[in-house]
Structure 1
């Protein structure tokens, strides 16, 4: 087995309603996302010697992750206050994305993993919220 990874960046706003720190307020981050995939090397054809073509990873991540999250307000669809803010933004034709969890780096890493696994053999997601803070989700930890 071989592991490869590709890194992406996107900008996103969020808030953690009810948090006891400054992240309680609406704010944004430039996130770094590393998508790690695992597999055997392709034996024949134009992609021989690769696990996957990095361009294929880029296309899938752009379609299923960064196009949704980049320059959006991400919010927990189970939080009344965050939903109220999202509704106002949507009325103003602003980009929002509802998530089934709090928009912590940890929660978002699980969501991103779930979005990508139907299309890629993802083995880990690393999501950096700041230049010095990141989390890593290794698949199937939440099942």
Structure 2
């Protein structure tokens, strides 16, 4: 059995060295779809649920939404992106350092791993960067 909850958050990033417009600092309103798979709970207040949607929301907000929302997401291994982050941090602005290039594909794998490490029985994540472009990671892929 699977359930899915959808979240949104706003972040900025850049892809230094990219051969298109994404080399520039820009932002997205991301849509994140998180799917968890498990058996149905039997008995108690959550009888008949895979997981309470409220519990799912709490974990995703803590692990993904709060760190990423309204942050400059940057590749900590990239000198130019790190310099921009340092400048923003000196102005007490929010940043989120990743050890990977901040493509939707890399970020969806990172988010999946982070939710798994938090104990969530996540089976798939879809990260929409624009209304028509997304990256997806599933355990069956």
- TM-score, normalised by the number of residues in structure 2: 0.97
Matching residue of 1:92: 91
Distance 1:82 1:127 in 2: 22
Q: Deviations over 1:93-136 (max 9, x none)?
A: 00000011111110110111111112200000100000011111
In 2, Cα distance between equivalents of 1:32 and 1:100: 22
Deviations 1:36-92 (A, max 9, x none): 000000011110100000000000011111000000000001111100100000001
The runs of 4+ residues in structure 1 deviating greater than 3 Å are none
SS at match of 2:92: coil
Report the Cα distance in structure 1 between the residues aligned to 2:140 and 2:92, rounded to whole angstroms. Answer: 36
Count, aligned residues: 140
Please give the root-mean-square deviation of Cα atoms over the aligned residues, in Å. 1.1
Separation in 2, partners of 1:55, 1:18: 41
Q: Could you say what secondary structure the match of 1:125 adopts?
A: strand
State the Cα distance separating 1:138 from its structure 2 match: 1.3
2:6 alignment partner in structure 1 = 7
1:8-87 equivalences in 2 (<5 Å):
8-87=7-86
Give the distance between the partners of 1:44 and 1:100, measured in 2 at CA: 43
